[in-house]
A and B are shown apart, each in its own frame.
Chain A
């Protein structure tokens, strides 16, 4: 995809559900956390953000997701968003089925059952989240994210604090769900292997305040997007 990394180019692409991030600065109480950070994600693309813990990865995600609105810059995102948080963040007082249907009012009973089936929770529709294991709760969170047919999917370290086997199963499930739905995906992780496996493009966050330091495209030669973060800064 030969796309010129300018604001004008990104804007034009927005018509097709593009995500365009152009943050100038973000500070917490006078302490700068993020410097200029700019990138775009096209539909079907999986962008991974790597960086040491505490660098501001989650802060960046919360800005992209629209949770944190106190920053300088502009973020344009499609309407249908989904996010998988570090914790499952379910409604513990509602059943697994209702956890999907309350968040996605358009979902029919059978759609919800199918979505649960897809993540291996077909027999848990009536269970409360507290009756599920952590791995099952994570899969429910994943089902919730994909049930809304998101145009932009945000994953915030979705595989942390899982044992190796469960994490691998979750990773494989996420991989196939992304391949089916092909949303624009933004993944934050500190694991190189996770990033290499899921991402079509890897961005690295470093420095203080943090900026995008580099850009590699695993698996598919070079693109002309290398250094985009600097180009727009």
Chain B
């Protein structure tokens, strides 16, 4: 990112905080909308007690598990459907059903059928994301180059080499897109899952402070997790994407 672009990002974020400050001053009621500096004390208190890190860790673990599961199954399904017209005909109606199934229904059904367990929570989140990943990757698989396919076949490239060096690099933009929108969607659904049926995590804490009508604490937990997800985006996803795209700009 150039210095100019960094400056714009910083300015844009500052404007958002400015808007918050103005809204807080106009509300003039810390019970309803506390100003940014009113959150510092509760933030430090939660950090010191270890509660913030404990719940942050629990949520992050669920996000990671659901992400790996959803990406793994979604990429495999999308690849299968994009490559085989027969598989596509069979699986497409399922995809449409699951794409249109509200997240809340999947979550409630998973909890009812499996019980209020970790497995149910992660499964519910994954099920919400898999059809999305599969749809994106199906487009990618349909766009695979038939020329490279022919080349790999003529030279009898082993299946693993072919997948890693011929197929996956072609799918990389689609995988990156699915991962990007995946992380955003998954952490939102994880919070709902925690809200409804877990006894730790950011969603559980928000549920608790919602019942106590503690807006400051709700904001502390929500903003902390947003900060973590931004760090993941900047420190993990963007560098990875830049590395994968290196050949385009070389």
Contact B247 A128 (CB under 8 A): yes
Contact B247 A102 (CB under 8 A): no
Q: Give B153-183 interface residues, CB cut-off 8 Å to A.
A: 153-158, 161, 165-166, 169, 172
Indicate whether A92 reaches chain B with its CB closer than 8 angstroms. Answer: yes
Contact B151 A83 (CB under 8 A): yes
CB distance from A131 to the nearest CB of B (A): 6
**A-side contacts of B165, CB under 8 Å:** 91, 93-94, 98, 102
Contact A83 B154 (CB under 8 A): yes
**B-side contacts of A130, CB under 8 Å:** 247-248, 250
Contact A89 B148 (CB under 8 A): yes
Interface of chain A, helix or strand or loop or mixed? Answer: loop
Write the residues of chain A forming the contact surface with B, with a CB cutoff of 8 angstroms: 62, 65-67, 79, 81-83, 85, 87, 89, 91-94, 98, 102-105, 127-128, 130-131, 144, 148, 154
Indicate whether B29 reaches chain A with its CB closer than 8 angstroms. Answer: no
The distance in angstroms between the C-alpha atoms of A98 and B166, with both chains bound, is 12
**A-side contacts of B166, CB under 8 Å:** 91
**B-side contacts of A89, CB under 8 Å:** 147-148, 150-151
Contact B250 A85 (CB under 8 A): no
**B-side contacts of A104, CB under 8 Å:** 155
Q: Give B76-112 interface residues, CB cut-off 8 Å to A.
A: none
The distance in angstroms between the C-alpha atoms of A127 and B153, with both chains bound, is 25
Contact A91 B148 (CB under 8 A): yes
The distance in angstroms between the C-alpha atoms of A103 and B248, with both chains bound, is 21
Please tell me which one of the listed residues B153, B158, B169, B247 contacts residue A67 in the complex, with CB atoms under 8 A apart.
Answer: B153
Q: Give B120-174 interface residues, CB cut-off 8 Å to A.
A: 147-148, 150-151, 153-158, 161, 165-166, 169, 172
Instruction: Enumerate 12 A-B pairs (CB-CB under 8 Å) in ascending A order.
Output: A67-B154, A79-B156, A85-B150, A91-B166, A93-B244, A94-B247, A103-B151, A105-B158, A127-B250, A128-B250, A144-B155, A154-B154
CB distance from A208 to the nearest CB of B (A): 25
Contact B150 A67 (CB under 8 A): yes
**B-side contacts of A93, CB under 8 Å:** 165, 169, 172, 244, 247
Contact B156 A81 (CB under 8 A): yes
**A-side contacts of B155, CB under 8 Å:** 81-83, 103-104, 144, 148
Q: What interface size band does chain B fall in?
A: 10 to 19
User: Nearest residue in A to B164 (C-beta to C-beta)?
Assistant: A102
Please tell me which one of the listed residues B147, B157, B172 contacts residue A102 in the complex, with CB atoms under 8 A apart.
Answer: B157
Contact B154 A65 (CB under 8 A): yes
**A-side contacts of B161, CB under 8 Å:** 102, 105
CB distance from B145 to the nearest CB of A (A): 8
The distance in angstroms between the C-alpha atoms of A105 and B162, with both chains bound, is 12
The distance in angstroms between the C-alpha atoms of A218 and B248, with both chains bound, is 46
The distance in angstroms between the C-alpha atoms of A89 and B156, with both chains bound, is 15
**A-side contacts of B150, CB under 8 Å:** 62, 65, 67, 83, 85, 89
**B-side contacts of A62, CB under 8 Å:** 150
CB distance from B114 to the nearest CB of A (A): 41
CB distance from B243 to the nearest CB of A (A): 11
**A-side contacts of B158, CB under 8 Å:** 105
Beyond A85-B151, A89-B147, 13 extra complex contacts between A and B, CB < 8 Å: A65-B154, A81-B156, A83-B150, A83-B151, A83-B154, A83-B155, A85-B147, A93-B169, A103-B155, A104-B155, A127-B250, A128-B247, A130-B248
User: Nearest residue in B to A94 (C-beta to C-beta)?
Assistant: B165
**B-side contacts of A87, CB under 8 Å:** 147
**B-side contacts of A103, CB under 8 Å:** 151, 155, 157
Most buried by A among B154, B157, B166: B154
The distance in angstroms between the C-alpha atoms of A85 and B146, with both chains bound, is 12
The distance in angstroms between the C-alpha atoms of A203 and B139, with both chains bound, is 42
**A-side contacts of B156, CB under 8 Å:** 79, 81
User: Nearest residue in B to A81 (C-beta to C-beta)?
Assistant: B154
Contact A92 to B147, CB < 8 A, known contacts A103-B155, A103-B157: no
Contact A66 B153 (CB under 8 A): yes
CB distance from A119 to the nearest CB of B (A): 17
The distance in angstroms between the C-alpha atoms of A144 and B156, with both chains bound, is 13
Most buried by B among A81, A91, A130: A91
**A-side contacts of B247, CB under 8 Å:** 92-94, 128, 130
